[in-house]
Structure 1
Amino acid sequence: MTLATSHSLSGASAASAVPVAADASSVTAAAGSASRSASLSALYADHLAEQQRRSEHALQRGGFDALVIASGVEKFAFLDDRPYVFQPNPHFKLWVPLVQHPDSWLVIRPGHKPRLVYCQPEDYWHVPPAAPSGFWVEHFELIIVRRAEDALPHLQVPGRLAVIGEADAALGELVPNNPPAVLNALHYARAVKTPYELLRMREASVLGAKGHLATQRAFREGASEAEVHRAYLTAVGMAERDLPYGNIVALNEHCAVLHYQYQDVVAPAQSLSLLVDAGAHSCGYASDITRTTGNGDATFQALLDAMEASQLRLVDRVRAGTDYRDIHLAAHAECAHVLREVGIVKMDEEAMLAQRVTSTFLPHGIGHLLGLQVHDIGGFMKDEEGGTLPKPEGHPYLRLTRVLQSGMVVTIEPGLYFIPMLLEKLRATPAAAQVDWALVKHLSAFGGVRIEDDVACRAEGGPENLTRDAFEQVS
């Protein structure tokens, strides 16, 4: 370990320091055995070797000699001294399980051990990062600095530098250039997860499943949206700032708002339905899970049961070589089937698709890539050159158009909603005569249904459903 200043590590006590990774120590400790720790270490070493290989390939494509990656800087509200929640550069946390560490850097060079310049300021206003420790430290040339600007001399390695980060991460003459040739190769490859990444995503799924079970219990007890949200946080053991995205917690007609952003503190007179879209983090990797719960109404339960069966059929389509766009189109065929099965629309299913009736009830895409980001980058890439694959005509909100490969993790999240503005448009079409509007009115009080699982594509056999496996583990 190299210190870039004369200060000792005792400047930040273990008792008071911010953990190296938000969930790394707790998740690893919960796993328990020494054999698992050895397995984790081996998986991480293999993960780093794969990232080194990908990075060297990307540098060669772009004609660069080294990759310099900024973790990012803390950002503040306009005309204020309050910082936003820090969001690390995903290229940074791909290498190290550090999610609360602004002003740190990585240097990746062919033939060299990765260099981590770790910013550990001396601070009595805020808790500084802990001294680096854990399964990952031995894999890095570690340099500790006390001030952000002290990192610069350790980043100025020979040759052409590909500097990855936001513009505000610049240090003097070291300015992020984000060369497209390098980024395209890295983004395209990142869709395929290593075994280490899959392990972390399974851990995130277990945390998320615990939270969702807690929300369902709170719903049955008559809790408000705010109380349901707090039950989730307690169950996963996280604060809001630790979540991969803001929880969607919707009761009744709020379930029809796809990204419902509020949480009423007062419970409705009658809680008919609950839709929770919420995930968790493990060492920077996200889960993204949605569950819808009813109050026992037979008609809404029939819709839930039909959607559950439909969603599982779509999950089974996650196979290597499958065009994800075909899964999205299959989701609309499934939507048509559910609409007819439940009696909402009496048209022939093919006619519903031809007249785009299903888009009234399913206006979003079937899912997206998942990993270091909830909507992982690279979903539209044709290849590492940076070309894009188009969305199906008439389906503007799909976030993934690639052919699935083993190691990809995607979400499968069909929905069926009763959205007033879209229903009004449907009323103005010839198809309106085939809609049971009395049934629509009844179900509109429930808002809608979304069921979302995180699914890993495998080389052989069926997909690995990270979400269902997690629920089975914690139930």
Structure 2
Amino acid sequence: MSLYLDHLATLQRQAESALDRAGHDALVIASGIEKYAFLDDRPYLFQPNPHFKHWLPLTNHPNSWIAVRPGHKPRVVYYQPHDYWHVPPEAPRGEWVGAVELVVIREPEQAAAALADVVTARTAILGEADAALPGLAPNNPELLLNLLHWARGVKTPHELAQMRAAQHRAVPGHNAARAAFLAGESEAGIHRAYLLATGHTDRDLPYTNIVGLNEHAAVLHYQYQDAVAPAESRSFLIDAGAQVNGYASDITRTWVAEGHEEFAALIAAMEREQLALVDEVREGVDYRDIHLSTHRRVARVLREAGIVKMSDEAMVAEGVTKPFFPHGIGHLLGLQVHDVGGFMASEAGGVADKPEGHRYLRLTRPLQAGMVVTIEPGLYFIPMLLDELRATKHAAQVDWAAVERLSRYGGIRIEDDVACRAAGEAPENLTRDAFAAVGG
């Protein structure tokens, strides 16, 4: 059996179990609809329901549906309009076609009739409210969603293959972006180089690229791209991914120009700690512990660099590392960049709390074999947070002259996508493997 067909069989089993436990007899999933700007006829970029693309490699197919029933092939209602204003979806093709019962419709409203024999009072319908049709309104039952979201945390071999492919698509972009930085390009020019090397357009990216030169690297989600290069390009942070069949990669690298040895040494120290954190991705490990481990490692970097003159333990206990590393160590990755289910206490729901004082962590579950997580420690020089640190009793322990020098570089983030393996096995670093494949 192919990886995809095996994946489909796994989803069918999971859906049948979830339907039985939640008291439903069928599952219907809407792909979603195109949304339009207020008072305009210009659509926003279509984002499919992740539950829909979990089953099908269809990411640009609004007004389509899938129905799942125990003992039946999935039924796919495939919207393919007759349209001369836009390019309609191509005729259904690919491995998925032979595995489903296919119904092609020309008008969105025809989906209701195509699913009329499936929908009952006990049918679970997943989607946004605006996808509703007469007799086909999403109800999104909580228990069913919890069961599906919990299961989605563990990737099938097919999903891991898509995610490896997304790494291999992103890596040439990162290498091209680094070359453009070293050539003195602007942020916008670096972004264009990334797109060209990945074969993506802005429409295809799993998230908006973060492309920050110099001080802009201190803005965690820097959202602009200057068209004019700065007078001096000292440092460069890029957080950029790629997408394959709806699965994302999420990679961050930080680079420095030649002649800036102090910041280069800081990047090397963070690289050392990042690789050690990757090795902590093991089955059964509480991801919250990896986050707390990151603060201890950032403390060591700050101490060894002479930026803070305190012990590692004291820095962490007193919260001195937080202004330098204010975000979480990472998150689940898959059909969504910040994949669902990260805070669940169990498959039935509930919340696994974040460590006290660490409100930006996005994953609080123990790791399971097959999970893919990001490991993205950072060390930043953020003026607002540094001003707060300067006002504390610990200010005297900070080398503010060093902080002033290093603030010109913005900050450092290094992010790999890592698959957790079975107990006793080392993690699979999807990102480093992809770089190694091209000699990077």
Give TM-score scaled by structure 2 length.
Answer: 0.98
Deviation at 1:329, TM superposition (A): 0.1
2:395 corresponds, among 425, 432, 454, to: 432
The 2-side partners of 1:340 and 1:136 are apart by 55
1:257 maps onto 2:257 in alignment? no
CA change 1:148–1:190 in 2 (3 A) is same
Q: Deviations over 1:247-291 (max 9, x none)?
A: 000000000000000000000000000000000000000000000
- Per-residue Cα deviation, 1:215-237 (whole angstroms, up to 9, x for no partner): 00000000000000000000000
Deviation for aligned residue 1:134 = 1.4
Residue 447 (structure 1) aligns with: 410
| Deviation readout 1:311-357 (Å, 9 max, x if unpaired) | 00000000000000000000000000000111111111111011100
1:155 deviation in Å?
1.4
2:112·2:135 contact (CA, 8 Å) conserved in 1?
no
The alpha carbon displacement at 1:168 in A equals 0.4
Aligned with 1:68: secondary structure?
strand
Q: Identify the residue that residue 438 of structure 2 maps to in structure 1.
A: 474
Q: In the alignment, which residue of structure 2 is the partner of 1:153?
A: 113
Task: Return the alpha-carbon distance in structure 1 between the equivalents of residues 170 and 213 of structure 2.
Answer: 19
Instruction: Give yes or no for the alignment of 1:57 onto 2:20.
Output: no
Task: Provide the aligned C-alpha RMSD in A.
Answer: 0.7
Separation of aligned partners in 2, 1:438 and 1:346: 13
What is the DSSP-based 3-state SS (H/G/I as helix, E as strand, rest coil) of the residue aligned with 1:395? coil
Shift of 1:158: 5.5
Give the SS at the match of 2:36.
coil
Hey, what's the Cα distance between the residues in 1 that align with 2:119 and 2:35? 31
The 2-side partners of 1:378 and 1:441 are apart by: 40
What is the aligned partner in structure 1 of residue 182 from structure 2? 220
- SS class of match (1:74): coil
The residue correspondences of 1:395-414 to structure 2 (distance < 5 A) are: 395-414=358-377
Shift in Å, 1:154: 1.6
Distance 2:85 2:184 in 1: 41
Structure 1 residue 116: Cα displacement = 0.4
Matched, 1:75 2:19: no
Deviation string, structure 1 residues 168-191 (Cα, Å, up to 9, x no partner): 000112100000011000001100
> Percent of pairs identical after alignment?
66
Measure how far apart 1:408 and its partner are: 0.1
Does residue 203 of structure 2 align to residue 203 of structure 1?
Answer: no
Letter in 1 for 2:428: E
Question: Which residue, 21, 25, 44 being the options, matches 2:4?
Answer: 44
- CA deviations on 1:120-149 (whole Å, 9 max, x unpaired) are 000000000000111221111111000100
1:327 is the counterpart of 2:287: no
Please state how far the C-alpha of 1:450 moved relative to its aligned partner: 0.1
What secondary structure sits across from 1:359 in the alignment?
Answer: coil
What per-residue deviation string (whole Å, max 9, x for no partner) do you get for residues 73-104 of structure 1? 00001111110000000000000000000000
Matched, 1:281 2:243: yes
Aligned to 1:372: 335
* Aligned counterpart, 2:325: 362
1:385 partner amino acid:
A
Q: Where does 1:24-39 land on structure 2 (aligned, <5 Å)?
A: none
Helix, strand or coil at the partner of 2:253: strand
Distance 1:377 1:152 in 2: 28
Could you tell me how far apart the structure 2 residues matched to 1:56 and 1:134 are?
A: 25
Q: Which residue of 1 aligns with 2:253?
A: 291
Q: Which amino acid aligns with 1:172?
A: P
2:85 is matched by which residue type in structure 1? Answer: W
From 106, 125, 128, give the equivalent of 1:166.
128
Among 112, 129, 135, the alignment partner of 2:89 is 129
Please report how far the alpha carbon of residue 430 of structure 1 lies from its aligned counterpart in structure 2 after TM superposition. Answer: 1.5
How many residues in Structure 1 have an aligned counterpart in Structure 2? 435
Amino acid at match of 1:144: V
Q: Distance in 2 between matches of 1:360 and 1:143?
A: 55
1:348 aligns with 2:311: yes
What is the CA distance between 1:474 and its match in structure 2? 2.1
Report runs of 4+ in structure 1 exceeding 4 Å deviation.
none
Asked if the contact 2:119/2:136 (under 8 Å) is kept, the reply is no
Distance in 2 between residues matched to 1:382 and 1:181, nearest whole Å: 13
**Displacement of 1:210:** 1.0
Taking a change above 3 Å as real, the CA distance of residues 226 and 158 of structure 1, as seen in their structure-2 partners, is closer
